């Protein structure tokens, strides 16, 4: 890890309960104070089950691209911010694959989040086929361009998540070297938009991060933390991952 502040983010996806929120708070508030930023992104209905704490922050897993109006089922950026979310995950591969989140929508949602003073965690990653065809960097460049080419000013307000789709929920993690190679590529690529912001932007890794594999990942120079799915539903394991980021 580096001079950038580590960020460990829990993506509960459509899992969890009030009880899990309570357990999670208990465990996290017992962690020693550190520079690591801890973020929980539960389903929004559980945001209020987390007492305010300086030990963790709260976030959402999605946001509407619209400000307000007749958009049944959607939740606006301002509403999320009012409910206590300071971050929002945008463009997760599950949203891109299952809910039609196109690059254009990802850009629109990123703008909305920033306008509401939340930090977007914008997700990018290649499929297994794209990796096997050695198209990883080409695919990432294309998706990064879609968000930042016309709006480089968004970069200084963003966190980037590299999540190889083949590693999400599969138990198969990118090796530390594989992940570092892509993180370094992303950082270098982003320099063409804003050199200073690219050096400062946190690029976190997601895809089957757990208590066993996290230390080697977080030790890489361009990996600034993790976006943790399955393992974040086990409070003790998630706490161990947060602790590991402190040590790296
Ligand atoms: P996983 O999910 O840790 O269960 O692979 C990560 C994510 O999808 O954000």
Mutate to test the pocket of ligand 1, among 41, 169, 212 (most ligand atoms within 8 A of CB): 169
Is residue 125 within 8 A of residue 134, CB to CB? The reply is no
Model confidence at 156: pLDDT above 60 = yes
Atom 9, ligand 1: which residue's CA is nearest? 229
168 lines ligand 1 (CB under 6 A): yes
61 lines ligand 1 (CB under 6 A): no
Mean pLDDT of 157-172: 94
Ligand 1 centroid distance, CA of 230 (Å): 6
Model confidence at 139: pLDDT above 70 = yes
pTM of the model: 0.97
Beta bridge partners of 119: 87
Quote the CA–CA distance of 112 and 75 in Å, as a whole number.
11
> What pLDDT, on a 0 to 100 scale, did the predictor assign at position 247?
65
Taking the CA of residue 94 as reference, the ligand 1 atom at the shortest distance is: 8
> What pLDDT, on a 0 to 100 scale, did the predictor assign at position 169?
87
Show the DSSP H helices in 101-234 as ranges.
103-115, 128-132, 136-148, 176-190, 195-200, 214-218
169 lines ligand 1 (CB under 6 A): yes
> What pLDDT, on a 0 to 100 scale, did the predictor assign at position 1?
44
Sign of CA dihedral 74, 232, 162, 34: positive
């Amino acid at each position: 890890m580096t001079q950038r502040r580590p960020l460990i983010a829990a993506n509960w996806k459509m899992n969890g309960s009030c009880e899990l929120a309570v357990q999670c708070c208990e465990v996290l508030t017992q962690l020693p104070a550190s520079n690591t930023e801890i973020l929980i992104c539960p389903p929004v209905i559980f945001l209020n089950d987390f007492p305010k704490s300086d030990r963790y922050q709260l976030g959402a897993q999605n946001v509407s691209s619209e400000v307000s109006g007749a958009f049944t089922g959607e939740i606006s950026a301002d509403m999320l911010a009012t409910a206590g979310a300071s971050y929002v995950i945008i463009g997760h591969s599950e949203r891109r694959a299952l809910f039609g989140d196109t690059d254009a929508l990802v850009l629109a949602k990123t703008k909305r989040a920033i306008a509401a003073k939340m930090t977007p965690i914008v997700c990018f990653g290649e499929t297994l086929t794209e990796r096997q065809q050695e198209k990883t960097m080409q695919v990432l460049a294309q998706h990064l361009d879609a968000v930042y080419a016309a709006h480089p000013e968004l970069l200084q307000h963003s966190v980037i998540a590299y999540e190889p789709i083949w590693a999400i929920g599969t138990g198969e993690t990118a090796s530390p070297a594989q992940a570092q190679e892509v993180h370094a590529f992303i950082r270098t690529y982003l320099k063409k938009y804003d050199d200073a912001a690219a050096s400062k932007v946190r690029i976190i890794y997601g895809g089957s991060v757990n208590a066993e594999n996290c230390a080697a990942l977080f030790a890489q120079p361009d990996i600034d933390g993790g976006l943790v799915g399955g393992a974040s539903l086990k409070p003790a394991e998630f706490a161990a991952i947060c602790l590991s980021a402190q040590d790296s």
